[in-house]
């Protein structure tokens, strides 16, 4: 292991914001001050785009109170990007690094960002340019491989659980069928967090649908009718990315004009189309099946609030996102080769994690679906075992009082 060189460092943020992505940024800033190797810490505005455009902000002179305010502010304080660099783009990045004596890159993002980090790292190695890159995981989707869970997920899970908990009480007050669409294009981790809202067997969400299991209209109708027949109401949480039996997502089917970002991802969040579609089925087929003339049916799509709501982060998620940022710098300063910061959960009843270095290639590109063990046999709900996994991440939730 070569002795790590002194030089400058760049830190950037990429992809969809989270409530704690600035905790990781502040973790990098703190550790960079201490490590003794980093002369200038340059924040790249809008991720890789700010690197090629040389839009940098000096991050080492910021005072502690400002850093703490930034850490607790949702979304990327440096600005984010959806750019996915190709070879020419990465070449330009390396040129900028060489011109600025940048020897370290800390890049906060999801699997696409890990892939960007991997490409730059490979190009630097091929060019013989000494560069250490650490990817710092960030995603509300919780779909990165290797790590036990991802910074950003706990706060989003906390928001979704509190939203569904309140909405379940709303639905109990004015009974009917309610459908809540939760973020998650390809993985059901966030919709599964709805399970944390349930404190009594009669509490909703009574049904949780995730992209990992096919959802047919027939199945949806039967499930909702059965629940309504039993409880006189039904709260449904559904991932925006649910698919039919042929593996075609409802979002894709419903989108009049499918918009894709530069990574080829379909834009699903925000439009109420899926919720409205399922509500329409409930208003017609479910209502008929129950032999009723009319039922109260509503749908909400939680949208960007899940990733950027201010003032309601998970305490554990805040701490761990900060830790991931610090660890990235510490690993680089200790001479470890480029990689991604990952969490490992210690065995035992008490929640505790340790960090380790993962290979960039193991985190890049492909994602991790919601584990089979957490999905019930019927494919319409979440197993009790998920609670042990997710409850520590979301942090303490309100306790429902009921008459």
Name, in order, each residue with C-beta under 8 angstroms of 146's C-beta and a sequence gap of 6 or more.
340, 342, 358, 362, 363
CA 190 from chain centre, in angstroms, equals 8
**Catalytically active residues, by annotation:** 141
Q: Is 13 in the site for its own copies (CB under 8 A)?
A: yes
Segment 226 to 265, residues that bind its own copies, using CB under 8 A: 254-256
CB of 68 to its own copies, least distance (A): 7
Q: Which residues contact 22 (CB under 8 A, 6 or more apart)?
A: 70, 71, 72, 73, 74, 75, 76, 77
Rounded CA separation 191/204 (Å)? 13
Q: What is the dihedral of CA 81, 85, 90, 92, to 10 degrees?
A: -60
Choose among 222, 381, 378, 196: nearest CA to 288.
222
Shortest distance, CB of residue 167 to its own copies, whole angstroms? 5
Shorter beta-carbon distance to its own copies: residue 241 or 313:
313
Interaction between residue 66 and its own copies (CB under 8 A): yes
Q: How many residues bind its own copies (CB under 8 A)?
A: 73
| Residue 84 engages its own copies in binding (rule: CB under 8 A) | no
| Segment 132 to 191, residues that bind its own copies, using CB under 8 A | 162-163, 165-167, 169-170, 172-175, 178
CB nearer to its own copies: give 67 or 361: 67
Q: Which is nearer to its own copies, 336 or 400 (CB)?
A: 400
List 122, 285, 290, 312, residue binding its own copies (CB under 8 A) = 312
With CB under 8 A as the contact rule, the residue among 24, 142, 308, 338 that binds its own copies is: 308
Closest distance to its own copies from the beta carbon of 249 (Å): 14
Among 8, 40, 57, 367, binds its own copies (CB under 8 A): 57
Which tokens sit at 165?
């908990």
Judged by CB under 8 A, the residue of 40, 82, 91, 145 near its own copies is: 82
Among positions 204, 275, 325, 392, the unique one binding its own copies when judged by CB under 8 A: 275
- Give the nearest distance from C-beta 339 to its own copies in angstroms: 25
Angle between helices 153-173 and 385-394 (to 10 degrees): 110
347-376: which residues touch its own copies (CB under 8 A)? Answer: none
Q: Which of residues 20-39 bind its own copies (CB under 8 A)?
A: 22
Token readout for 159 is 């928001």
Residue 244 CA: distances (Å) to CA of 54, 214, 218, 219, 301: 45, 5, 11, 10, 19
Count how many residues are written for the chain.
403
Q: What is the DSSP annotation of 369-391?
A: PPPGGGB-TTSSSB-THHHHHHH
Nearest residue (CB) to its own copies, 68 versus 245: 68
């Amino acid at each position: 292991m070569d002795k790590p060189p002194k030089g400058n460092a760049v830190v950037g943020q990429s992809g969809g914001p989270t409530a704690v992505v600035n905790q990781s940024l502040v973790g990098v800033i703190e550790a960079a001050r201490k490590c003794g190797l980093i002369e200038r810490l340059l924040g790249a505005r809008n991720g890789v785009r700010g690197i090629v455009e040389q839009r940098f902000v000096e991050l080492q002179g910021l005072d502690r109170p400002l850093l703490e305010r930034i850490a607790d502010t949702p979304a990327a304080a440096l600005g984010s990007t959806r750019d996915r660099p190709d070879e020419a783009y990465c070449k330009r990045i390396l040129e900028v690094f060489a011109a600025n004596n940048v020897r370290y890159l800390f890049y906060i993002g999801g699997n696409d960002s890990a892939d960007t980090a991997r490409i730059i790292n490979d190009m630097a190695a091929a060019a013989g340019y000494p560069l250490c890159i650490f990817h710092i995981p960030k995603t509300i989707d919780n779909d990165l491989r290797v790590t036990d869970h991802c910074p950003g997920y706990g706060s989003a899970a906390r928001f979704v659980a509190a939203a569904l908990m309140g909405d379940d009480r709303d639905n109990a007050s004015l009974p009917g069928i309610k459908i809540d669409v939760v973020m998650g294009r390809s993985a059901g981790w966030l919709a599964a967090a709805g399970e944390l809202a349930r404190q009594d067997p009669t509490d909703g969400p009574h049904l949780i649908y995730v992209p990992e299991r096919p959802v047919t209209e027939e199945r949806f109708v039967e499930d909702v009718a059965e629940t309504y027949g039993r409880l006189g109401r039904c709260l449904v949480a559904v991932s925006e990315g649910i698919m039919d039996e042929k593996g075609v997502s409802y979002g894709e089917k419903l989108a009049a004009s499918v918009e894709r970002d530069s990574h080829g991802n379909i834009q699903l969040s925000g439009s109420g189309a899926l919720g409205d579609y399922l509500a329409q089925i409930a208003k017609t087929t479910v209502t008929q099946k129950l032999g009723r003339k009319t039922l109260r049916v509503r749908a909400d799509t939680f949208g960007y609030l899940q990733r950027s709501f201010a003032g309601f982060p998970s305490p554990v998620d805040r701490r761990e996102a900060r830790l991931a940022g610090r660890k990235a710098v510490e690993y680089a300063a200790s001479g470890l080769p480029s990689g991604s910061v990952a969490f490992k959960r210690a065995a035992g009843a008490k929640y505790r994690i340790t960090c380790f270095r993962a290979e960039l290639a193991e985190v890049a590109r492909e994602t991790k679906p919601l584990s089979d063990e957490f999905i019930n046999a019927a494919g319409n709900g979440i197993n009790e075992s998920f609670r042990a996994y997710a409850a520590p991440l979301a942090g303490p939730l309100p306790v429902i009082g009921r008459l």
